[in-house]
Structure 1
């Protein structure tokens, strides 16, 4: 019998998710899984529980929560045969949007059960994971305008999450009024780039800005490459331009935007810069080393996600 563990963050999202966990358990058991559920106490606890499940040979760990929770669980599964199942129940749920999944919410209270049913017999694909100064990330690493904004608004209380989009937009505009960018040097594989940038984003997925924009329309989750997006500038107009260009899709051909695909990236600056990964504030540093761990995480993939995959599904184990 296939074995599963559900790890859920009781503080994720706008509404308590714990009452819906039994419905996900029932859906998996009906599909032939042996399943138990554990409440996480912190991000570190989620990673530890996932790593323990992998060490015990659990076939799949289902992460219930937002993008932060999903990333923390994924960190504990890297390099193992245990698959990650995503049951989005956070605020932005960008990973869920990337995979075409309906997140749990007040108006979608059956979403956990429906998504568990969807994933119960889904194929497993191995996807790429980024490492930034030893911090794994699934979606993006950002520095400049977005990292400073994330630092200002995270962490948030549950009632504050009702105002995520306007709060994020207001914070970006406020930050942009005095942000003049930062002088950065990049080594993307064998190519050196340098300049003054208001924003730099490293991504492995298509969506960005809480899922509101399509940053890399042709990004693949398993091709061994990440994209580096550089937005140059030095003043208020330059700082706001990337936001509006991404909303309209004009950043793709903008004269002030550059896209470079890479496997290894080094970033240096003379002054410390803030870094965020997957929407979580991480650290300030003068040097960031980013590498792509090719196909290092196994994920149960729903049907709507298959156009973002370039390789065949993983054989065996489940």
Structure 2
């Protein structure tokens, strides 16, 4: 019998998920899982609990929360035989959007059970994990306006999660009114690019901007490569233009947006800057060193999402 841990974040999302967690146990038991439940107390606790589950040879940790929770749990499972299974219940659920999963809400309360059924009997896959200044990330690591905004608004009161998109948008516009970008030196695989940028973001996935933008349409989760996107500009007008270009897909042909595929990267400035990893604030610095741990994380993902992998494992 496979052993799994349901690890849920009680502070995640717009709606409290605690009362719905036990409803996941039955469909997983029917699929041959022995299940235990644990509640996260903090991001560090989520990482430590996941690491302990890996040490105790659990087959999977089912992470119930948003993208921050996903990244925290993934950090605890790196280079282990314990797989990450995501049951989305956060404010934004970009990892779930990437894989076609529907997140939990009071209007879609049954999604936890449905997503558990989707993942109960799938093959284990392996995906890349990024490291930004030795901090693991599964989705993105960003410098500039997005990181600046995230550092301003996180952690959010649950009230603001109900208006997460307008809250983030309004805060970004407000910050862009007074913050005018950074002079950056960006090395990707040893090649130097210099310029003045509003955003520099390394992405391992296709979606961005809360899932509203397909930033890197051809991104694969296990190809040992990521994309560095550089968005030029120095004003709120530039920030708004980039937002609408990202949503419409015009960034792919814009001369103000540049894509640099890489295996290793370094972003550097003479001024200290904010950093975000997987949509959570990270310790700021005047440099960000980014590299890839190839296929370092085992995951359970819906069968319909295998197109996101270059080399899916098939039993």
Tell me the TM-score normalised to structure 2 length. 0.98
- Is 1:26–2:26 an aligned residue pair? yes
Match of 1:96 in 2: 96
- Is 1:44–2:44 an aligned residue pair? yes
Q: Deviations over 1:14-65 (max 9, x none)?
A: 1111111111111110111111111111111111111111111111110011
Does the 8 A contact of 1:222 with 1:311 survive in 2? yes
Q: Deviations over 1:196-235 (max 9, x none)?
A: 1111111011111111111011110110001000011233
CA distance in 2, matches of 1:93, 1:312: 23
CA distance in 2, matches of 1:189, 1:91: 35
Does the 8 A contact of 1:179 with 1:239 survive in 2? no
Q: How does 1:73-88 map to 2 (within 5 A)?
A: 73-88=73-88
CA distance in 2, matches of 1:94, 1:239: 21
Match of 1:121 in 2: 121
Match of 1:302 in 2: 302
Does the 8 A contact of 1:180 with 1:239 survive in 2? no
Match of 2:135 in 1: 135
Does the 8 A contact of 1:126 with 1:314 survive in 2? no
- Is 1:163–2:138 an aligned residue pair? no
- Is 1:213–2:213 an aligned residue pair? yes
CA distance in 1, matches of 2:43, 2:239: 32
CA distance in 1, matches of 2:6, 2:75: 15
Which has the larger displacement, 171-180 or 262-271? Answer: 171-180
CA distance in 2, matches of 1:153, 1:12: 15
Does the 8 A contact of 1:63 with 1:73 survive in 2? yes
Which has the larger displacement, 228-237 or 8-17? Answer: 228-237
Match of 1:280 in 2: 280
Does the 8 A contact of 1:154 with 1:280 survive in 2? yes
Q: How does 1:58-69 map to 2 (within 5 A)?
A: 58-69=58-69
CA distance in 2, matches of 1:282, 1:19: 31
CA distance in 2, matches of 1:293, 1:224: 8
Secondary structure, in 3 states, of the residue corresponding to 1:270?
strand
CA distance in 1, matches of 2:179, 2:160: 25
Q: Aligned-residue CA RMSD in angstroms?
A: 1.1
Q: Deviations over 1:266-318 (max 9, x none)?
A: 11110101111111111221111110111000000102311111113176xxx
Runs of 4+ in 1 over 4 A off after TM superposition: none
Change in Cα spacing, 1:84 to 1:314, as seen in structure 2 (3 Å) is farther
CA distance in 1, matches of 2:222, 2:297: 10
CA distance in 1, matches of 2:59, 2:170: 43
CA distance in 1, matches of 2:278, 2:306: 21
Equivalences, count: 315
CA distance in 2, matches of 1:41, 1:190: 41
